[in-house]
Chain A
Amino acid sequence: NAGVTQTPKFQVLKTGQSMTLQCAQDMNHEYMSWYRQDPGMGLRLIHYSVGAGITDQGEVPNGYNVSRSTTEDFPLRLLSAAPSQTSVYFCASSRTSGNTGELFFGEGSRLTVL
Chain B
Amino acid sequence: KQEVTQIPAALSVPEGENLVLNCSFTDSAIYNLQWFRQDPGKGLTSLLLIQSSQREQTSGRLNASLDKSSGRSTLYIAASQPGDSATYLCAVIDGTASKLTFGTGTRLQVTL
Knowing A41-B104, A98-B98 are in contact, say whether A103-B42 is a contact too (CB < 8 A).
no
State the A residues within 8 Å of B (CB). 4, 40-45, 59, 90, 92, 98-108
State the B residues within 8 Å of A (CB). 4, 31-32, 34, 36, 41-46, 49, 89, 91, 93, 97-100, 102-105
Please give me the residue from chain B that is nearest to A104 by CB atom.
B46
Q: Which of B31, B45, B104 contacts A105 (CB 8 A)?
A: B45
- The reply to whether B43 and A102 form a contact with Cβ atoms under 8 Å apart is no
- The reply to whether B43 and A108 form a contact with Cβ atoms under 8 Å apart is yes
Q: Which of B42, B49, B103, B104 contacts A102 (CB 8 A)?
A: B49
Q: Which of A41, A90, A99, A100 contacts B43 (CB 8 A)?
A: A90
Knowing A42-B104, A99-B98 are in contact, say whether A90-B44 is a contact too (CB < 8 A).
yes
